[in-house]
């Protein structure tokens, strides 16, 4: 049996592009004892994947030219040599970027039977939704009437975070990169005010929309916006550090804010959070809560669906061009 897979063609230099990858076909061995054959149905593309392509060892192991990309995927067991996973079982894996794969059954997570589309386990009910939950419900904990700023708000995590903040009664401000996204955030996600960071300065936006300052900031972008946010917080404000997409392509994602002394002046609380560190039971509990909220109509899953494994590289590159609203998934 042959399997299609996307592998790294060359080490990206600066802005990542579809030409940095190639789609190849490789023979797939039959599953051995304790192994299963899985047909991937959906895969996720996420900004953090850029960190495995910097060529710099450190936070995550690096991918080299000729190696297959990895990432979250959901698929169906086609053949099994392990009684724990029967054929037809839907599973979550880290074996995205390929049409089929063979793996040990104990490396896969059977998905619960929920009244939700299968690909939601890559978004609202997966790492994306769990991350948004952690930032709002456990780190920032905005109270009714408080003002929350969410950067990268039209992205996968941000589009869920704005909804969770609204559920808590907060006033939600957002940043994005285009007029279309700004309109989408107002009309679909229900935020109170949006700033297009290409057209307006953060200081001017906050002076107009929150003249007394911000209670909370959910940071998805890092870099200059995080630096400038320190001076716009109220005393005792809270900042949740989720991501630094503005720094991923430069490879300089470890550099910190120059305005750090403002955190001392204002007695700010800064806390990073990483859903990868949660135990599986905790993640499953959060996903169950999110599923119930979605079933009640309290939150929605916003997504962009890309058709075909061959288009996964372009979908991934598009994350850094500001092209997609919501969670980006590829139907394999």
pLDDT tens digits, one per residue of 165-181: 999 999 999 999 889 89
pLDDT number for residue 177: 87
**Distance (Å, rounded) from C-alpha 177 to C-alpha 293?**
28
Six-digit token pair at 194?
A: 């949006």
Query: Which among 130, 140, 155 is positioned nearest to 46, based on CA atoms?
Result: 155
Residue 198 has pLDDT above 70, yes or no: yes
Q: How far apart are the first and last CA of the chain?
A: 17
**Distance (Å, rounded) from C-alpha 262 to C-alpha 159?**
28
Q: What is the mean pLDDT of the chain?
A: 93
Backbone dihedral region for residue 3 (phi beyond 0: left; psi -120 to 50: alpha; all else: beta): beta
Q: Are strands 2-8 and 21-27 parallel, antiparallel or unpaired?
A: antiparallel
Query: Which among 130, 293, 157, 189 is positioned nearest to 173, based on CA atoms?
Result: 189
Query: Which among 202, 196, 205 is positioned nearest to 223, based on CA atoms?
Result: 202
pLDDT number for residue 250: 59
User: In Å, how far are 103, 115, 127, 283 from 112, measured between CA atoms?
Assistant: 20, 10, 15, 13
pLDDT number for residue 80: 97
pLDDT number for residue 244: 82
Helix/strand/coil (H/E/C) assignment for every residue in the chain = CEEEEEEECCCCCCCCCHHHEEEEEEECCCCCCCEEEEEEEEEECCHHHHHHHCCCCCCCCCCCCCCECCECEEEEEEEECCCCCCCCCEEEECECCECEEEEEHHHCEECCCCCCCHHHHHCCCCHHHHHHHHHHHHHHCCCCCCEEEECCCCCHHHHHHHHHHHHCCCEEEEEECCHHHHHHHHHHHCCCEEEECCCCCHHHHHHHHCCCCEEEEEECCCHHHHHHHHHHEEEEEEEEECCCHHHHCCCCCCCCCCCCHHHHHCCCEEEECCHHHCCHHHHHHHHHHHHHHHHCCCCCCCEEEEECHHHHHHHHHHHHHCCCCCEEEEEC
Percent residues over pLDDT 70 in the chain? 96
Q: Are strands 233-241 and 269-272 parallel, antiparallel or unpaired?
A: parallel
pLDDT tens digits, one per residue of 90-100: 999 999 999 99
pLDDT greater at residue 12 or residue 6: 6
> Mean per-residue pLDDT for 48-65?
83
Please report the domains of the chain, with CATH numbers, ordered by start residue. 2-122+302-331 (3.90.180.10), 127-275 (3.40.50.720)
pLDDT tens digits, one per residue of 314-331: 999 999 887 788 999 999
Among the listed ranges 79-88, 110-119, 171-180, 287-296, which one has the minimum average pLDDT value? 110-119
Which residues sit opposite 240 in a β-bridge? 218, 271
**Distance (Å, rounded) from C-alpha 200 to C-alpha 148?**
18
**Distance (Å, rounded) from C-alpha 224 to C-alpha 226?**
5
pLDDT number for residue 226: 93
Whole-structure pTM value: 0.90
pLDDT tens digits, one per residue of 101-134: 999 999 999 998 777 899 999 999 999 999 999 9
pLDDT number for residue 279: 92
pLDDT tens digits, one per residue of 242-285: 988 766 655 566 667 778 888 999 999 999 999 989 998 999 99
């Amino acid at each position: 049996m042959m399997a299609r897979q996307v592998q790294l063609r060359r080490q990206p230099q600066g802005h990542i592009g579809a030409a940095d990858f190639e789609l190849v076909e490789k023979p797939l061995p039959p599953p051995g004892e304790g192994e299963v054959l899985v047909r991937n149905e959906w895969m996720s593309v996420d900004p953090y994947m850029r960190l495995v392509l910097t060529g710099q060892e450190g936070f995550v192991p690096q991918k080299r030219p000729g190696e297959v990309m990895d990432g979250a995927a959901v698929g169906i067991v086609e053949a099994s040599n392990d009684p724990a996973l029967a054929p037809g079982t839907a599973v979550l894996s880290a074996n995205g970027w390929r049409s089929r794969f063979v793996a040990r059954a104990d490396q896969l997570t059977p998905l619960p039977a929920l009244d939700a589309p299968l690909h939601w386990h890559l978004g609202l009910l997966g790492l994306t939704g769990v991350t948004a939950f952690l930032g709002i419900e456990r780190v920032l904990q905005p109270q009714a009437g408080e003002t929350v700023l969410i950067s990268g708000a039209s992205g996968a995590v941000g589009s869920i975070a704005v909804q969770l903040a609204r559920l808590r009664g907060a006033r939600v401000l957002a940043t994005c990169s285009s007029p279309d996204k700004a309109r989408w955030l107002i009309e679909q996600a229900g935020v109170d005010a949006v700033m297009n960071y290409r057209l307006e300065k953060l200081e001017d936006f906050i002076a107009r929309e929150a003249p007394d300052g911000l209670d909370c900031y959910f940071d998805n972008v890092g870099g200059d916006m995080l630096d400038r946010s320190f001076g716009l917080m109220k005393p005792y404000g809270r900042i949740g550090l989720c991501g630094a997409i503005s720094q991923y392509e430069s490879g300089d994602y470890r550099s910190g804010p120059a305005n750090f002394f403002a955190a001392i002046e204002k007695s700010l609380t800064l806390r990073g959070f990483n859903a990868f560190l949660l135990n599986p039971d905790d993640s499953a509990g959060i996903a169950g809560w999110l599923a119930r909220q979605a079933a009640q109509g309290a939150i929605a899953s916003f997504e962009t669906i890309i058709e075909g494994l061959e288009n996964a590289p372009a979908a991934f590159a598009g994350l850094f061009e500001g092209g997609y609203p919501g969670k980006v998934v590829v139907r394999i």
